[in-house]
Structure formats: structure tokens, C-alpha cells
Amino acid sequence: MRSILDSLTIHNLGIAAALFGGFVLFLFIGSRVVPGKTLEGVPMPDGTRQKYRMNGLYLYLLTVAILGAAQYFKWFSLSIVVRYYWPLFVVANVFAFTLTGILYVKGRRAGAPLHGHVIVDSFMGTEVNPTWLGVDLKMFAYRPSLIGLGVINWSFAAVQYEALGALTTRMWLYQVFYFLYLTNYFQFEYGMIYTWDIIAEKFGWMLVWGDYVLVPFFYSIPAWYLVANFAPLPLWAAPALAALWLVGFVIFRGTNEQKHQYKANPKTKIWGKPAEAIGGKLLVSGFWGIGRKLNYTGELCMYYAWTIPCGLHSIVPFLLPLWLTFFFPHRAWRDEQRCKAKYGELWTAYCARARFRMIPFIY
């Protein structure tokens, strides 16, 4: 605790503000100028459709290329992010709270429907699609969030490399699994348009803080634990973890992509056959006929695959997968209540076909 407080000097906070501000500004300008396909969101209650420029993958790869070159040619070391970790954490919090305030004032001025209490409206948000200089701020926030998570991960790798002259197998597994996961997210960034958060949630503190603080700083905790974990892995562990990750990835990406393709084109083919849907609305082909929430199961497998290399000495790196293990069944239950209310008898018929939620024959 003492060392954390000692690191929060004006000098360090100034450097952290420059790093954080430069990073967010780079991504914001990039979101405006880097080419990408423009897609329209689902119609809003007033009939308008938000426009999104899908250039996240280029921005992600551009960031990887710039930081990779900087590291390789020794322009600067990525380990700077870990050295200024706590000042960056403080700056990210200040940014998140300031942005929440700005969004609240912006929503009020725009005449957005309010709950009426400043705390509730700041927490939940006032506008669904706050936009600045043509950029949808909610969709944009996923970029500093997930690219930021990647940067913090790579920074921990840089720290280990500078200390050892190499990366441990544990660190390699973590980095490769996470890198592929993040790359894949940006490759399928367009799928975000049909998610609940983008369609319906207002952009308030809950999402702002989640994107700018929780995801980059909390999700990267396993990397912290891996920096000083030099214990060799048993021979079977790397292939077993790679298999767990791959199974999770195939299920996660497969389920999300099948639903996305079906929503975009109900006549699409799934596993070589025309998509079958109950009442023309609820997909029962592919993964969606095996389980109702296999996308959550797949994601969980990936989280465990990149956390297990930390070893079992501490529970801290496992806090996130453990939390998701409880959060996903609860979210699945909440979503099913929503679907039951929306689809009525069709939902009951769907549950009779796809009897299990996350683990066939068990749950």
C-alpha cells in the first residue's frame, strides 16, 4: 500500500496523464480517419439508425505494429505501462468520472428522458447513443478498453522479457491465448451492433467505468501473477490448456456467429443445412439446438485456459473467471426471463428442444 501511495507523485501522475490521454486521443482520431465499412445500427424508437465505422481491427493492428516496432527498435519499452501502473489507474478513474459528468450534462442539454435523480442518471446514463464529432462514444469505448487490456498484458510480458531475456511457457500461453481472443473480437466487431449493451443500454458510469477501468486493469491481473512465476509446467499442461482454449473459442465464436448470421439473413445455412427456427424467430440449428447459452460456456473455457498458467498459489488471478462462473448463469437466467416475456409460447417450445443452458445433460 505504501509503495502504491509513494508512486502517486505529481510527476508520475503527469506522465500517466500524458500516456493515457495520448492513447485515447490516438484511438479517437484513428476512429475518425482510419477507413472502415460504415454500418447502420438497429432502428431506435424514434426511427433513426446510428452509424458505426467498423475500423477497430485496423486500429488494433496499427497499435500492435507501432508498439511492436517501438519495442523491437528500442524507441521505448512497453514496460513503462507497468512502471506507471498505479498513476495510470488513478488517471483512468479521474477520466471515467469526468466523462460520466460530461455525459450527464450532455444528456440533460439534449433533453434525454431522465430518471430524475442525478446519481441514478449518472450511474445508468442519459443517452443510448451519445455522439461526439461523428463518433459513437459507447461503441468507441470498447477500443481503449480492449486495446488497453492488450497493452497492459504486453507490458507485463515486456517486464518479464527485460528481467529474464525470454518469456516463460506460462507467459507465452497467456499472451497467445489473449492476443488471439482480442484479435478475433475486432475481426467480428460488427457483431456488437446486435448486442444488448449497444442497442438498449444508456452510456453512464456503469459502462464508462467498466470500459475504461475495470476491463483493462482488472482483466489483466493474471499477467501480473505470471511475471514472477518461473515454475516449469508439466509436459501435458500446454497441450491440455491449448485444447481447452480451442474448444472454448470454437464454441464461443461459433454460437455468436451463428446467431449473428441468422439475424442478418434468416435463410443462412448452419453446418451445411438451412437454418431452422421455432416460429421463424428462435434458432434451433447448430449450437443453439444443443444449448441455450453455449456462448457463455465457450467464453468461460477461454478465461480458465489463460488463468490456469498462474498456478494455484493465489486466488486473486482466478477472481475474474470465478466471478464469471457465477455471473453467467445469473445473466442467462435474467436473459431467459426477458425472452420468456418477449416470445411467450415460442420460448417454451424452444426450451423443450434445447433443454440445457450451458452444459448439455448437466445444466
Nearer to ligand NDP, 17 or 244 (CB): 244
Q: State the nearest-atom distance from the C-beta of 291 to ligand NDP, in Å.
A: 10
Residue type at 358 in one-letter notation: M
Question: With the C-alpha atoms ordered 73, 155, 10, 103, is the resulting torsion angle positive or negative?
Answer: positive
Count of C-beta atoms within a 10 Å radius of residue 197: 14
Nearer to ligand NDP, 124 or 238 (CB): 124
- Residues near ligand NDP (CB under 6 A) are 195-196, 252, 256, 259, 282-283, 288, 295-296, 299, 331, 335, 338-339, 342, 350
d(CA 219, CA 182): 12
Q: How many residues does the chain have?
A: 363
Nearer to ligand NDP, 60 or 262 (CB): 262
Nearer to ligand NDP, 42 or 118 (CB): 42
Q: Which whole-number Å values give the CA distances from 277 to 145, 263, 271, 332, in the listed order?
A: 35, 11, 14, 20
d(CA 269, CA 286): 10
Q: State the nearest-atom distance from the C-beta of 337 to ligand NDP, in Å.
A: 10
Q: State the nearest-atom distance from the C-beta of 28 to ligand NDP, in Å.
A: 24
Q: Which whole-number Å values give the CA distances from 331 to 47, 323, 328, in the listed order?
A: 29, 12, 5
Residue 111 C-alpha cell reads as 433533453
Angle at 179 between CA 177 and CA 184, to 5 degrees: 95
Q: State the nearest-atom distance from the C-beta of 124 to ligand NDP, in Å.
A: 17
Nearer to ligand NDP, 49 or 342 (CB): 342
Q: State the nearest-atom distance from the C-beta of 339 to ligand NDP, in Å.
A: 5
Nearer to ligand NDP, 129 or 256 (CB): 256
Residue type at 198 in one-letter notation: I
Q: State the nearest-atom distance from the C-beta of 62 to ligand NDP, in Å.
A: 24
Residue 82 C-alpha cell reads as 507497468
